[in-house]
Amino acid sequence: MHLVALTGGIASGKSTVAARLAELGAVIIDADRLAREVVEPGTDALRHIAEAFGQEVLQPDGSLDRPALGSRVFGQPQNLQKLNDITHPAVHQLGLERIAAAEAADPDAIVVYDVPLLLEASRRPYDFELAIVVSAAEETRVRRLVEIRGMTEADARSRIASQASEAERLAIADVVIDSNGTLGQTLDQVGELWTTLTALPGTAAEAAAASGTD
């Protein structure tokens, strides 16, 4: 199995890259999806959140009331850290379980951990072989947020500014996908990336190439 990280700022095109990698055969593990799963009704994390922030952060059906929780943590660093201390270990553990399951299902799997906040986490929580950064200029991202997601320009710039800078992300990149161009140009780069990933030492494709078989 090969484990790589995929990251990029808001409106960078990361989701498009992840979707194409999945079509090509990668196993995608979405950190955002894991973060939602660990706070579903009945989970330890949701119970700890209710204990820390009050029953008011729960909906009548027992699910998380995200706006109510948000009002307690956004702009309040201590509360945000308290929330992160609850959710991050749970996400990390679930991620390990999904990675192990992917390897058990296919020892030759190429597993892509799709994690928007790889850099903001200040460490690589898994033993990634490569860090792939999907990159787009700020003006491109602002335009996408305004035209596709309906944000105001001010809101778009605020969201971008709240994340790590593009230069900081690029500094940790082993591979960069430039998504400033057309969709076709981006997908061409993903195809080249897939060729690189399938040729990593230990993959089935690499072994076949080394032995001269198809």
* Residue-range definition of the domain harbouring residue 137: 2-199
Q: What mean pLDDT do residues 126-148 have?
A: 93
Domain count across the chain: 1
pTM, rounded to two decimals: 0.85
Per-residue pLDDT at 122 exceeds 50: no
Query: Tokens representing 165?
Result: 């800078």
End-to-end CA distance of the chain: give it in Å, rounded. 20
Q: What mean pLDDT do residues 14-39 have?
A: 96
210 band by pLDDT with thresholds 50, 70 and 90? low
Q: Does residue 136 lie within any of the structural domains?
A: yes
Q: Does residue 205 lie within any of the structural domains?
A: no
Model pLDDT, residue 143:
95
Q: Which residue positions form the known binding site for ATP?
A: 11-16
Q: Does residue 166 lie within any of the structural domains?
A: yes
Q: Does residue 43 lie within any of the structural domains?
A: yes
Share of the chain above pLDDT 90, in %: 76
Q: Does residue 210 lie within any of the structural domains?
A: no
Q: Does residue 62 lie within any of the structural domains?
A: yes
Q: Cα–Cα distances in Å, from 181 out to 12, 89, 192, 195?
A: 11, 37, 16, 21
Model pLDDT, residue 118:
81
Q: For residue 49, which phi and psi values (nearest 5 degrees)?
A: -65, -45
In tens, the pLDDT along 35-49 reads 999 999 999 999 999
Per-residue pLDDT at 179 exceeds 90: yes
Q: Which residue positions form the known binding site?
A: 11-16
Radius of gyration of the chain (CA): 19
Model pLDDT, residue 116:
84
Per-residue pLDDT at 58 exceeds 50: yes
Per-residue pLDDT at 203 exceeds 90: no
Model pLDDT, residue 202:
75
Q: What mean pLDDT do residues 12-28 have?
A: 97
Q: Does residue 192 lie within any of the structural domains?
A: yes
Q: What mean pLDDT do residues 43-60 have?
A: 96
In tens, the pLDDT along 74-119 reads 888 899 899 999 998 999 999 999 999 999 999 999 999 999 878 6
Task: Give ∠ CA 74-79-81 in degrees, rounded to 5.
Answer: 100
Closest CA to 95 of 143, 129, 128, 57: 128
Q: How far apart are CA 141 and CA 120, in angstroms?
A: 19
Q: Does residue 51 lie within any of the structural domains?
A: yes
204 band by pLDDT with thresholds 50, 70 and 90? low
Q: Output the domain CATH number for residue 62.
A: 3.40.50.300
